[in-house]
Amino acid sequence: MWYAEFGIAAAAQLLAGCNAQNRLRRMRRVPQPQGLPGRGQPLLDAAFLAGGPARVVDTVIVRMQQEGRLIVSRSGQVTVTDRNARDAVEAVLITVAGSSGRTDLSTVRRELARSEHVQRIGDGLAARGLMRRPDLFRKAMGARRLFWFVQLVVIGLGVLAAIDWLGLSAAEQGSRSAPFFPFLGLLMVGLFWLAVSKPERARITPAGVRQLELIRTGSPWQPHDAAVFGGALLLGAVAVDGLDSLEDLELRQALAAQQAMTRTSTTTSSGSSSDSSGYVWCSSSSPDTPSSSCGSSSSSCGSSSSNSCGSSSSSSCGSSSSSSCGSSSSSCGSSCGGGGGCGGS
């Protein structure tokens, strides 16, 4: 009798649908909801929101260069002339430069983008609902793929049930209902469920988009936390709009060349570009813990070319393909969300 096959198909669909719905709810959950700060967004938060870790790195390099505390040569060498860091991100840059204070621009951009302090900026934005955590997006997409597979199982069981029913004699078929409409109805329910539980692929949430619009509205944006350093208007433009706003042609060309090299190496190693700069955000399970789930160039569980995390978007930071992120001080792995029931959040 086809009732057994139908029961198995219905149970599998219910479990897969609940799992997909639960993962979607977790991805959309905002643990620390806040109102939008408008044009009062901190400089590096705005840079991460507009362009991801790579934009944060470029903003910090431009800030230090404009203040005479860092020199970027035409050959791509970075020289730190002032070892007094004004924030945690600058401290990482100075550490990367080493005791000599000199290193390659590519090394600075790579290590700084993967550092715990830069990655945590994205975690904080996600906790406030301005960005989507890439680890939860990957889990939501995995649950969705499983749900699609279950629909194939429903079709397969329906075909088997139909074959069994068609093999009966005319008298037996008359005494037993046909399985076609029940299985077709179950399949339609599953497809509708898939349609309404599709995860958003945008890296930035609608609230994040509104935040960027507020920053860009009106007069040129001047971040309040950059005013004490000078050149706030320039830094605001670089953070929000990228290197095209940079008037220093030599520095802009050096940074743009490194972006192009990073894009090429990432595309070669992973088969597709992770973002416009080659660096992605690897979310941790909490904004209060380091983003260490991807390893680092010096750890035993990852390398600068490994592919393990990211987000999907056509914007400048995240995509469906991702590169390794982390820092030399991060550990190998983190818990990225937990499981829950069908109605969990």
Give residue-wise pLDDT tens across range 60-93. Answer: 999 999 888 999 888 888 999 999 998 999 999 9
Q: Can you give the pLDDT at residue 166?
A: 83
Q: Can you give the pLDDT at residue 289?
A: 47
Mean pLDDT of the chain: 77
Q: Can you give the pLDDT at residue 164?
A: 83
pLDDT for residue 249 is more than 90: no
| Total count of residues recorded for the chain | 345
Rounded CA-CA distance 69/85 in Å is 10
Band of residue 242 on the pLDDT scale cut at 50, 70, 90: confident
Residue 80 backbone phi and psi in degrees, to 5:
-90, 120
- DSSP letters spanning 276-343: SSS------S-TTS---TT--TTSTT--TT--------SSSS--SS------TT--S---------TT
Q: Can you give the pLDDT at residue 283?
A: 61
Q: How far is CA 181 from the centre of its chain?
A: 42
Please state which of the ranges 64-68, 144-148, 192-196, 313-317 shows the lowest mean pLDDT. 313-317
Helices 232-241 and 206-216 pack at an angle, to 10 degrees, of 140
Band of residue 34 on the pLDDT scale cut at 50, 70, 90: confident
Please state which of the ranges 16-20, 152-156, 320-324 shows the lowest mean pLDDT. 320-324
List pLDDT tens digits, range 159-205: 998 888 888 777 777 777 888 889 999 999 999 999 988 888 888 99
Please state which of the ranges 15-24, 139-148, 232-241, 294-303 shows the lowest mean pLDDT. 294-303
Q: Can you give the pLDDT at residue 220?
A: 87
Q: Can you give the pLDDT at residue 93?
A: 94
List pLDDT tens digits, range 78-131: 999 999 998 999 999 999 999 898 999 989 988 999 999 999 999 999 999 999
Q: Provide the residue type at 5 as one letter.
A: E
Band of residue 223 on the pLDDT scale cut at 50, 70, 90: confident
pLDDT for residue 273 is more than 50: no
Q: Can you give the pLDDT at residue 262?
A: 66
Strands (E), the chain: 70-72, 77-80, 102-104
pTM of the model: 0.71
Neighbours of 330 (CB within 10 A): 27
The CB-side HSE value for 55 (13 A sphere, CA atoms) comes to: 30
pLDDT for residue 257 is more than 70: yes
Q: Can you give the pLDDT at residue 229?
A: 53
245 vs 218, higher pLDDT: 218
Q: Can you give the pLDDT at residue 284?
A: 55
Rounded CA-CA distance 144/17 in Å is 8
pLDDT for residue 331 is more than 50: no
pLDDT for residue 336 is more than 60: no
Over range 39-62, report the average pLDDT.
Answer: 92
pLDDT for residue 292 is more than 70: no
Rounded CA-CA distance 326/68 in Å is 29
Q: Which of 230, 198, 202 is nearest to 49 (CA)?
A: 202
Q: Which of 240, 258, 238, 239 is nearest to 248 (CA)?
A: 238
Q: Can you give the pLDDT at residue 317?
A: 40
Q: Under a CB-based contact definition with an 8 Å cutoff, are residues 204 and 313 in contact?
A: yes
